[in-house]
Structure 1
């Protein structure tokens, strides 16, 4: 599985805390006064609940948590639902245990489909209402819906999203050197050779360190290559173990990524594993490297005063396909909003969080995107995020969820991560994929 801390949150994480919605639980004259300050038109159909409480938990913390809370604050004020949110780094590790003990929140924002499946298969989740399912049918592609449909039962709507496979670069450096954005994987290799020969610095930079999840950025490279070299059908067979992890096509993907990640002429192989992933691309700003493979969410890492845009300090292009002009193929991730118990207030919150209104509000708060097809891309907080929404909304895009998120935890968030570390430390590809294959659960 992938490491999220809001998909690997990219900023230091404070201790978890419960945050209530200011004024959301008020009743009587105060509530009426609060509601008068907002447009309650979009929320009339939900009804009013006179201070009923709904608890929500997930991996989203700090500034991102504030933005999330702002996204439902008008809904809470207008309906009278007192929404209390708890963001914690331990959500993924503890939520099943909390559910088993009857201590789960009313709603969970779950970052991996594999964890959704685990919770559903253990009987911890309530099926989503017909209204939530109707929203998902209207506003998301079938690809997204399937990730929260377990044994033909639908459990929750997608929320936020990210697109993987971006390659970050300096537009000014490209312009000064006459480098073109590559349109094929072969052109990417040629560009890398050119930078190595002419620039005076290594072409690539990266960071794999992420605490217990060290190695996960390398899994993203492998997933991108499996999808591009062999297409979505093989990708699906791989993540569901219809073909073994050591299939020759997966070996080919490892070797293709290794041409960059294991080549000391292209990347600093000595510091690769010890460099925190949050710092992996920052050398671009100092002119010490030119290319960094990381998802759309990496934007928040560049720091204050760094402009992200086609004419800015940094920008990004999607890792190209094998052949120019083909359909865009991307990997990505997101969250699913599921319920551990159900009543009218919980259903209302789940409905709102599956709506086009909520998705638009959250995107307008900044720092993220949604795959909801009703979102206006122009309201995104940067050109990169606007581009990301357009990619997600494009019917020609082939989207596949992060492979490690879909694999069993023993593989996706264990042997695959560890295998990447060993592989980058000198293990050969065959030994790596054989070990990961042998770790796959028997059932």
Structure 2
């Protein structure tokens, strides 16, 4: 009985197959967590410019004087005529994008009911500081009038030191009140929710824009590595012979070097840039991909559908990329997820060593490197970039584990 073209089953569209594959992740809570982490950073990378233009983020490369290593939650207060950079090409005065701070609002920022109480407290603290200064000057004169080693001189020195500690505490409180007093009549431009770095740049903005850089160059590098490694592995595994021997020998030579050493040497030779990072990752990763694909091809080339394709007289290209490759996609996809995580770490390591993306591009690794000096005084400057880097790598690794579980059930 002849089968007409209308009676033949139509192939399922690619977008439906992709949608069904995504739904399979619901079977694994690990996969859901990994997909959520990756999706979060992908979303941030996609909408970062929108958030910037809407005034919800500070420009990632703009520093604000007086806010060096500011703690999380610090509010940016500027005079109305001070310019604020809102894009690579546009600046606006603070009064156009900020909110005017009234005297009562300034008092509430410092924890006072009214501006008069705030001013009175500030004046009182100022008077106490001045009185302590005078007492310390008087004690200094008394100490100088006594002989060295006199017990009374030692007692006066202790009193003077105690007054100095009290004066420092009062000065710190006075400085915080002075900021609130001076903020009246100025504009609240925004809040540094994660604080600022040593160059007074907003950490949250740099993390989000840094995610965009990572999610551009990491997938691009992996795609290039697979574009080189897959054809080599398919050809070596299917054909065998001297081609397999040569490609395997070259791969073994490259894989004999530690990957980080290869990355560093390549970047030092050709210079740091996004394109050169892609080239370095491709050169170091393609041999490993080639070996994985080669082992899959060696196993699949003896299957009946490959023999049937050869019997039909199919071309080598069609056998490799239509018959072999689709049937090897499971392990390749899992390996790709793992390599994405490794590549994110690689970009971070290169940035930490000063070999990553050139400034002023936000780079998570460079942010961690720059914050090392502030690890004790401003730990948030190093903790948040570490969390961002770890969460994205963890997301890719969990996603790879989930895909492996699904492929084993399939």
TM-score, normalised on structure 1?
A: 0.25
Say which structure is richer in helix: 2
More strand by share: 1
